[in-house]
Amino acid sequence: MNKIKKEIISICGGRNQETMEFNNPFEHNKVANYFIDLEKGVELKNSLNETVEFIRRYNTDVEYVADDPKELSGFGTPPYPMKSFSEINFDFATLIGALNTIALYELRVLQTENKFLNDIMEDVVTNSL
């Protein structure tokens, strides 16, 4: 995911080397092109779900962190079912918005990992008593 973040920052004009501020923080056309047209959103979705896929081998109740709207409850009416993960998250996102969205999904992965590890720890403690 760091590769994707570095690429999108670069595509949107990079950073000012003195201040480290983004040169074009509100760029949205290049963000949409990158994630939707170049299908980097699919790559991101797959990357986010890799850890969950591993955890699902041990606990099938774990939900994926990145889904297309048609796979989510609450998105059962048009226009949402016709949109992909990339479109719903990045169609109108600025550079700042896209980076925040990625950070949110990274947090969801960490929360999923944390719950899984806590469940294992509880099983170990329970079985050793």
- Give yes or no for residue 63 having a pLDDT over 60: yes
- In 3D space, the residue among 105, 109, 89 whose CA is nearest the CA of residue 97 turns out to be 89
Rounded mean pLDDT of 78-106? 90
DSSP 24: S
Instruction: Return all residues near 35 (Cβ < 8 A) that are at least 6 apart.
Output: 8, 41, 44, 86, 89, 90, 93, 98
* pTM of the predicted structure, to 2 decimals: 0.88
Binned at pLDDT 50, 70 and 90, residue 70 comes out as: confident
Q: What is the average pLDDT across 50-78?
A: 83
| Average pLDDT, rounded, for the chain | 91
Q: Where are the domains of the chain?
A: 2-120
The pLDDT score that the predictor gives to residue 54 is: 94
What percent of the chain clears pLDDT 70, i.e. is strictly above it? 91
